[in-house]
Amino acid sequence: MRGSLYLIGGVLALTGCGATPHPKPLAELTPEETRGHVVYETNCAVCHYDRQNGVLHGPSLSGVFKKPALPSGAAATDERVSATVLHGRNNMPAMANRVDDADLTALLAYLHTL
């Protein structure tokens, strides 16, 4: 099963179907996206990669909004990601006490660049 997934991934990469996300370079981020990057580094980086694949404590956020679904299978929407951040999910702690509305808006803007 894993092998065939890698195979499909490889074929998509070879055919240029965008299977490998290309994050916007950090130097090209808007001020809002840069703020979101700081929010990510402060609150998420300890558990999630952003610009590479692989599991840290949680799944990589690389290309999170470019994929059709989140790792849980939920739709990859601002609403679902916001709810995950605010309320937590299984081993991910709720972060509503650390991330305010403006932080969250900026964070979503940054995650959309991945």
Residues 6+ apart with CB under 8 A from 113: 23, 24, 29, 33
d(CA 52, CA 23): 10
Name the amino acid, one letter, at 113: T
Q: Which is nearer to ligand HEC, 99 or 109 (CB)?
A: 99
Q: Does residue 52 interact with ligand HEC by CB under 6 A?
A: no
Q: Does residue 94 interact with ligand HEC by CB under 6 A?
A: no
Question: What does the per-residue mask of binding to ligand HEC show for 22-51, with x meaning CB under 6 A?
Answer: ---------------------xx-xxx---
H or E stretch including 40?
helix 31-43
Q: Does residue 85 interact with ligand HEC by CB under 6 A?
A: yes
Tokens of 113: 């660049």
Please provide the DSSP assignment of 57-91 as one string: SS---TTTTTSSB-TTSSB--HHHHHHHHHH-BTT
Q: Which is nearer to ligand HEC, 10 or 53 (CB)?
A: 53
Q: Does residue 55 interact with ligand HEC by CB under 6 A?
A: no
Which member of 9, 21, 23, 58 binds ligand HEC (CB under 6 A)?
Answer: 58
Chain residues that interact with ligand HEC, rule: CB under 6 A:
43-44, 46-48, 57-59, 61, 64, 70-72, 74, 81, 84-85, 89-93, 95, 99, 107
